[in-house]
A and B are shown apart, each in its own frame.
Chain A
Amino acid sequence: TQLLEQSPQFLSIQEGENLTVYCNSSSVFSSLQWYRQEPGEGPVLLVTVVTGGEVKKLKRLTFQFGDARKDSSLHITAAQPGDTGLYLCAGRASGGGADGLTFGKGTHLIIQP
């Protein structure tokens, strides 16, 4: 079983601060996805990264896939209260089909006004 470790588990910061969330594994993934889940809703995809070293930006969110495709990070610049939510990373193993998606346990992020 491939495991994805997310850190930190919980993070509460003030509006305007920057933060980074990490997703690490000892296994290689062919791709990695980041989802955000808000209270009372299902997770929604933010981004998919597939190439080692790839960097993708989504407004104030920057996602990076590690060179060895074993880890990823999510950096938020000037966090806003609307960024509050549960952030989940999910990795797909090489050769894995639709069922080969492993989820991390998530980072609970609270942005205080």
Chain B
Amino acid sequence: DVKVTQSSRYLVKRTGEKVFLECVQDMDHENMFWYRQDPGLGLRLIYFSYDVKMKEKGDIPEGYSVSREKKERFSLILESASTNQTSMYLCASSPGVFYNSPLHFGNGTRLTVT
């Protein structure tokens, strides 16, 4: 089974801090994604990556950046955390070759910015 591991389940940070959310997948998937999930808004795509060192903006990239130095690892960076970035963050991966392949999600990181 594909395993997508997010380094923290819960994180509390202060406004203005630089925050790193880490995600690792063990199935050699080309594609990796970061979503945030908020009540009433559903899943919204922040950034995704098709390959090492490649990144593409999703629907809501403002205030975020990403890093993909190795194929298995995709990091989400909040340069200066703000309270409106309090949310559940979900990492996902999928193989690049199959058009309708499913997304495999991690269990999420619930971030609170105070």
Q: Is B50 among interface residues, defined by CB-CB distance under 8 A?
A: yes
With a cutoff of 8 Å between Cβ atoms, the chain A residues found around residue B44 in the complex are: 103
Q: Is B78 among interface residues, defined by CB-CB distance under 8 A?
A: no
With a cutoff of 8 Å between Cβ atoms, the chain A residues found around residue B43 in the complex are: 43, 88, 103
Contact A98 B106 (CB under 8 A): no
Q: Which of A31, A40, A88, A99 contacts B107 (CB 8 A)?
A: A40
Q: Is B94 among interface residues, defined by CB-CB distance under 8 A?
A: yes
Number of interface residues of B (CB under 8 A): 26
Number of interface residues of A (CB under 8 A): 23
Of A14-22, A44-52, A59-67, A72-80, the stretch lying at the interface with chain B is: A44-52
With a cutoff of 8 Å between Cβ atoms, the chain B residues found around residue A105 in the complex are: 40-42
CA distance A97 to B101 in the complex (A): 11
CA distance A80 to B7 in the complex (A): 33
A residues 79-103 in Cβ contact with B at 8 Å: 88, 90, 92, 97-99, 101, 103
Contact A50 B31 (CB under 8 A): no
With a cutoff of 8 Å between Cβ atoms, the chain A residues found around residue B100 in the complex are: 31, 33, 48, 50, 92
Q: What residue in chain B is nearest A104 (Cβ atoms)? A: B42
With a cutoff of 8 Å between Cβ atoms, the chain B residues found around residue A40 in the complex are: 107-108
On A, residues with C-beta under 8 Å from B are 1, 31, 33, 35, 40-45, 48, 50, 88, 90, 92, 97-99, 101, 103-106
On B, residues with C-beta under 8 Å from A are 4, 31, 33, 40-45, 48, 50, 56, 58-59, 90, 92, 94, 96, 99-100, 102-103, 105-108
